[in-house]
A and B are shown apart, each in its own frame.
Chain A
Amino acid sequence: MIVEPKSKRECRVTVNDAVIDCACDRLEEIAAWAITREGVRVHARSRSLGSDKVEVWVGGLPFQFLVTAVGPGGLAELTKPTSRIESGEIRAIMPGRVTSIMVELGDEVSVGTPLLILEAMKMQNEIVSHKSGRVASVRVREGATVKKDTVLLEVR
Chain B
Amino acid sequence: MAYADATFPLVGVTPAETYLSIPKIIRAATETKCDGVHPGYGFLSEDASFARACEEHDLVFVGPSSDSIERLENKLTARKTMHEAGVPIIPGSDNPLKDEHEAVEVAEIIGFPVILKAAYGGGGRGMRIAHSKEEVQRFYRVTKLEAASSFGKSEMYVEKQLTSPRHVEIQALAGKRGDVVILGERECSIQRRHQKLLEEAPSIGISDTTRSALSEAAKKGLEASGYTNAGTVEFLVENTGRFHFLEVNKRIQVEHLVTELTTGIDIVEEQLSIAFESQMNVSQNEIRVRGWAINCRINAEDPRRDFTPSPGTVIQYHAPAGPGIRVDSALYSGYTVPEYYDSLIVKLSAYGRNRKDAIRRMRGALDELEIIGIPTTVPLHQAIMIDKQFNAGDFSTTYLNTFTPKLNEELARLEENAAALAAANRIISIPIKKTLPTHMSDWRRSGRPHIHRPSW
Chain A residues with a Cβ under 8 A of chain B: 1, 3, 5-11, 13, 15-16, 18, 20, 22, 24, 27, 30-31, 33, 35, 37, 42-46, 48, 52, 54, 56-63, 65, 67, 70, 76, 78, 85, 93-94, 111-112, 121-124, 128, 130, 148
The 3 A-B residue pairs with the shortest CB-CB distance, nearest first, are A60-B378, A13-B420, A22-B424
Closest Cβ–Cβ distance, residue A100 to chain B (whole Å)? 10
A61 adjacent to B379 (CB under 8 Å) = yes
Q: Contact check: which of A31, A43, A148 meets B368 at CB < 8 Å?
A: A43
- The reply to whether A33 and B421 form a contact with Cβ atoms under 8 Å apart is yes
Specify which chain B residues have a CB less than 8 angstroms from the CB of A52 in the assembled complex: 426
Q: Find out whether the CB atom of B427 lies under 8 angstroms from the CB atom of A9.
A: no
Q: In chain B, residues 226-254, which have Cβ atoms closer than 8 Å to a Cβ of chain A?
A: none
Inter-chain CA distance A46–B149, complex, in Å, is: 46
**Chain B interface residues toward A at CB < 8 A:** 14-16, 146, 149-150, 298, 302-306, 308-309, 315-316, 339-340, 366-379, 382, 410-411, 413-430, 432, 436-440, 451-454, 456
Q: How far apart sit A37 and B424, CA to CA, in the bound complex (Å)?
A: 14
Given contacts A9-B451, A44-B417, contact A76 B423 (CB under 8 A): yes
Given contacts A1-B419, A123-B150, 19 further A-B contacts (CB under 8 A): A3-B423, A6-B439, A8-B432, A8-B451, A9-B428, A10-B439, A11-B420, A11-B424, A13-B424, A24-B428, A30-B315, A30-B372, A43-B368, A48-B425, A57-B372, A59-B410, A70-B426, A94-B309, A122-B16
Provide the residues of chain B in CB contact with A57, threshold 8 Å.
370, 372
Selected from A59, A65, A111, the residue in CB contact (under 8 A) with B414 is: A59
- B367 and A42: CB pair below 8 A? yes
Query: Judging by beta carbons under 8 Å apart, are A46 and B421 in contact?
Result: yes
By the criterion CB–CB under 8 Å, are A16 and B416 in contact? Answer: yes
| Chain B neighbourhood of A16, CB < 8 A | 416
- CA A48 to CA B149, docked complex, whole Å: 48
A12: min CB distance to chain B, Å: 9
Chain A residues, CB < 8 A from B304 = 61, 130
A15 CA / B423 CA spacing, docked (Å): 11
Residue of A nearest to B418 (CB): A63
Chain A nearest CB from B197 CB (Å) reads 14
Which listed residue (B302, B436, B440) contacts A5, Cβ 8 A?
Answer: B436
Interface pair A59/B379, CB less than 8 Å apart: yes
Please give, as numbers and ranges, the residues of chain A lying within 8 Å of B303 by CB-CB distance.
Answer: 61
Kindly report which residue of chain A lies nearest to residue B142, judged by CB atoms: A124
Q: With the chains together, A13 CA to B149 CA distance in Å?
A: 55
Tell me which of B14, B414, B424 has the highest count of chain A C-beta atoms within 10 A of its own C-beta: B424
A5 touches B306 (CB 8 A): no
Say how far A139's CB is from chain B's closest CB, in angstroms: 18
CB pair A30 B428 closer than 8 Å? no
Question: A111 CA to B429 CA in the complex, in Å?
Answer: 37
Q: Which residues of A contact B372 (CB under 8 A)?
A: 30, 45, 57, 62
29 A-B contacts (beta carbon < 8 Å): A1-B419, A7-B437, A8-B451, A9-B428, A11-B420, A11-B423, A13-B419, A13-B424, A18-B416, A20-B416, A27-B452, A30-B315, A42-B367, A44-B421, A45-B370, A54-B426, A56-B418, A56-B421, A57-B372, A59-B410, A60-B298, A60-B369, A62-B373, A63-B415, A65-B418, A70-B426, A122-B150, A130-B305, A130-B308
Picked from A7, A33, A67, A121, the residue with its CB within 8 Å of the CB of B436 is A7
Shortest CB-to-CB span from A17 to chain B, Å, is 10
State whether A70 touches B436 (Cβ < 8 A): no
Nearest-Cβ distance from residue B17 to partner chain A, whole angstroms: 10
- Chain B residue nearest in CB terms to A19: B420
Q: Report Cα–Cα, A61/B417, bound state, in Å.
A: 11
Give the shortest distance, in Å, between A71 (CB) and chain B (any CB): 11
Q: Flag if A20 contacts B420 (CB, 8 Å).
A: yes
A22 to B426, CA, bound (A): 12
Please name the residue on chain B nearest to A47 by beta carbon: B425
Cα-based distance from A56 to B375 in the complex (angstroms): 12
Q: In the assembled complex, which residues on chain A have CB atoms less than 8 Å from the CB atom of B415?
A: 63
Contact assessment for A43 and B367 in the assembled complex, using a CB-CB cutoff below 8 Å: yes
The chain B residue sitting closest to A119, CB to CB, is B149
Q: Are B375 and A62 in contact (CB under 8 A)?
A: yes
Q: A58's contact among B306, B374, B417, B452, by CB below 8 Å, is which?
A: B417
Q: Which residue of A lies closest to B14 (CB)?
A: A121
How many angstroms between the C-alpha atoms of A122 and B430 in the bound complex? 54
Nearest CB in chain B to that of A2: its residue: B423
Known A59-B414, A61-B375: A48·B429 in contact at CB below 8 Å = yes
- Which residues on the A side are within 8 Å of B425 (C-beta)? 31, 46, 48, 54, 56, 67
Q: Are B454 and A13 in contact (CB-based, < 8 A)? A: no
Q: Cβ of A10 and Cβ of B440 under 8 Å apart?
A: yes
Across the interface, name the chain A residue whose C-beta is closest to B316.
A30
Q: Give bound CA distance, A57 to B432, whole Å.
A: 25
A5 touches B432 (CB 8 A): yes
Residues of B within 8 A of A1 (CB): 419-420, 423
User: Which one of B423, B437, B440 lies within 8 Å of A13 (CB-CB)?
Assistant: B423
**Smallest CB separation, B44 vs chain A (Å):** 15
Chain B residue nearest to A130 in the complex (CB)? B305
- A60 and B377 form a contact (CB under 8 A): yes
CA of A3 to CA of B429, assembled, Å? 13
Give the docked Cα–Cα distance between A130 and B301 (Å).
13
Selected contact of A130 from candidates B149, B306, B416, B437, CB within 8 Å: B306
How distant is B274 from chain A, measured CB to nearest CB, in Å?
33
Question: Given that A59-B414, A121-B16, A123-B150 are contacting pairs, would A43 and B370 also be in contact in the complex, using a CB cutoff of 8 Å?
Answer: yes
